Amino acid sequence: MPTRKILIVEDESIIAEDISDCLIALGYSITGIVYSGEEAIQSATELRPDLVLMDINLQGEIDGITAAEEIRGRFHIPVVYLTAYADENTLRRVNVTQPFGYIVKPFEEKNLHTTIQLALHRHQYDSLTNLPNRSLLREQLSLVLENQKELPEMIPILTLSLDRINRINSNLGHDIGDSVLCKVAERLSNFTEKINLVARLESAEFAIVIKPVAEKQDAAKIARNILDIVAQPMIFKGSELYVTASIGICLSPGDGCDGEELLKNAYSAMYNSQERGGNKYEFYTATTAINSINKFSQETCLRNALKRSEFEVYYEPQIEIKTGKLIGAEALVRWNHPKRGRVSPAEFIPMAEEMGLIAALGEWVLETACRQTQAWQRESLPPLRVSVNLSARQFEQKNFTERVSEILRETNLDPKCLQLELTEGLILQDEKAAARTFTVWRDMGIQIAIDDFGTGYSSLSYPKRLPFDAIKIDKSFIRNIADDRQNAAITVAIIQMAHCMNMTVIAEGVENQQELAFLCDRECDEIQGHFFSQALPKPQFEALLKSDKCWVM
């Protein structure tokens, strides 16, 4: 443990020397001895001691309490009072500054030592954002609640969580993720007009205690302000980044009998606004609590689902236009939930990503799909290519490529029969790294398809720079393609571009004859969608494969 530096603020030089000797003997180092509140603030600014030992009655204009408030507020340095003052009024003022300790003179050496140790221990600030952490918040919040007891107003307690922070971390890196957190922390800390306290709870979660309000609507207005403040663009490495937040609000008194319960309830409300898509605030109600219990139990269920073999791979047929033959299958995972029945991947994939389960789940899908495809080949069924979706999280896994080649080896599937589907966002995070990985995959013989093309940060230029085998046109462009001129124009442009670069074009989500006719006419290569078939469980897909059906286009 490094030697802790202490600033002594004491106007009686003899006492100050005495304290100093005592502290040095106890193993602390003294950054300085000052006699006035002004000097105290200046020394704290310049020397950043680990702790300030503060007398109350000082030389100069401002007293120790005012100086302590400044020092705590601006630099988050813990202050321990060491003073002869102990009257009611002084104590009340002291309390407001949330001191880390209070020692009455004349002091005992042992008492001084213990109080300082405790203060330093309690003072664990959050090192990334410099905000108070959860345990500090708990103490400060209980003081705020205590002090407000007699007032007619309400205190709004908010929890705030940044939406999609995991996506920022995985797409842009943890450095940017951390900078976003710091920026948000800074913006919240500067909103002192309305905010009383800000603390960082977990990774991207903050607690905010608002100054007392007269009505619920005032709290709503401030929450909206906070959402706006967070949503202001941030500039990192020359590019703009936007983040949004979800806020849960509860009011004291009413929504909880102590700080702990208020925070818990604000959390449930926050989960609800997350569920509703984020960039929202929501007040706590009894129903909120039920919903958040649901979310919690859902997460628990998801965690167990892999162990309990509740996942199943479905196969969606992909048909080659030229021959009308089934040439591929997209593996799409399904969750057979014991109570809810079949759950859509659109719901649980993001959840699995957030919870860090996607690597295990994705690997399971990959292995199942490869093993199954190989099994069909062994039965001498028509040759088939299998496409597996990858999430950004899997892609950034260090040993992902090794795992893919291990799985190919173990399942004995010819790498040419495997296609990996990636989305545009994933490429955008680090184009150079993506290009390197793709080259390795290509050398292994694996095919690479870009999924949902046109929906992301589409750039028609990067497919030129990256070695793709196929482009999948997103279903939103296929919809009403025969009538929607804009969709038609985009689709035609994508097909032409892809063909110029020797890429295959796959249209997804084809639902009717008109859409199919348009795509045949414009020489799209492959088609998938409900017009042909939905994604099928293994036995049904196998039956289709065995029938060796030929579609007439």
Residues that bind ligand C2E (CB under 6 A): 316, 332-333, 344-346, 349, 362, 365, 389-391, 421, 451-452, 475, 508-511, 529-530, 535
Q: Where does this chain touch Mg ion (CB under 5 A) — which range of 434-442, 452-460, 477-485, 532-540? A: 452-460
CA dist list (Å): 53 to 5, 190, 311:
11, 27, 60
- Provide the minimum distance between the beta carbon of 454 and ligand C2E in the complex, in angstroms, as a whole number: 12
Applying CB under 5 A, which of residues 268, 318, 389, 394 lies at the interface with Mg ion?
389
- For helices 513-521 and 485-500, give the axis angle rounded to 10 degrees: 40
Applying CB under 5 A, which of residues 205, 367, 421, 525 lies at the interface with Mg ion?
421
Which residue, 262 or 524, has its beta carbon nearer to Mg ion? 524
Which residue, 259 or 529, has its beta carbon nearer to ligand C2E? 529
Q: How far apart are CA 321 and CA 532, in angstroms?
A: 12
- 222 is in the binding site of which of Mg ion, ligand C2E, none (Cβ under 5 to 8 A by kind)? none
Q: Are 197 and 142 in contact (CB under 8 A)?
A: no
- 39 is in the binding site of which of ligand C2E, Mg ion, none (Cβ under 5 to 8 A by kind)? none
Which residue, 126 or 353, has its beta carbon nearer to ligand C2E? 353
- For helices 88-96 and 134-147, give the axis angle rounded to 10 degrees: 140
**Contact between 526 and Mg ion per CB under 5 A:** no
- Provide the minimum distance between the beta carbon of 191 and Mg ion in the complex, in angstroms, as a whole number: 41
Which residue, 255 or 452, has its beta carbon nearer to Mg ion? 452
- Provide the minimum distance between the beta carbon of 509 and ligand C2E in the complex, in angstroms, as a whole number: 4
Look at the block and give the residue holding tokens 């106007």. Answer: 11
Q: Report the b/e string of 27-49 with b at 16+ CB within 10 A.
A: ebebbbbbbbbbbbbebbeeeeb
Which residue, 140 or 423, has its beta carbon nearer to ligand C2E? 423
Q: Where does this chain touch Mg ion (CB under 5 A) — which range of 30-38, 204-212, 339-347, 383-391? A: 383-391
Q: Which of helix, strand or coil describes residue 121?
A: helix
Q: Are 8 and 20 in contact (CB under 8 A)?
A: yes
Which residue, 65 or 506, has its beta carbon nearer to Mg ion? 506
**Contact between 424 and Mg ion per CB under 5 A:** no
Q: Which of helix, strand or coil describes residue 220?
A: helix
- Provide the minimum distance between the beta carbon of 512 and ligand C2E in the complex, in angstroms, as a whole number: 9
- Provide the minimum distance between the beta carbon of 541 and Mg ion in the complex, in angstroms, as a whole number: 16
**Contact between 316 and Mg ion per CB under 5 A:** no
Q: How far apart are CA 23 and CA 510, in angstroms?
A: 78
Segments of 287-397 assigned E as strands? 311-320, 325-337, 341-343, 385-389
Applying CB under 5 A, which of residues 55, 163, 452, 525 lies at the interface with Mg ion?
452
Q: How far apart are CA 216 and CA 214, in angstroms?
A: 7
Q: How far apart are CA 179 and CA 163, in angstroms?
A: 15
**Contact between 515 and Mg ion per CB under 5 A:** no
- Provide the minimum distance between the beta carbon of 539 and Mg ion in the complex, in angstroms, as a whole number: 22
Applying CB under 5 A, which of residues 451, 515, 525, 526 lies at the interface with Mg ion?
451
Give which of 85, 90, 79, 71 is closest to 116, Cα–Cα: 79
Q: How far apart are CA 52 and CA 67, in angstroms?
A: 10
- Provide the minimum distance between the beta carbon of 525 and ligand C2E in the complex, in angstroms, as a whole number: 17
Q: What is the phi/psi pair of residue 427, to 5°?
A: -75, -35
- Provide the minimum distance between the beta carbon of 314 and Mg ion in the complex, in angstroms, as a whole number: 12
Residues near Mg ion (CB under 5 A) = 389, 421, 451-452
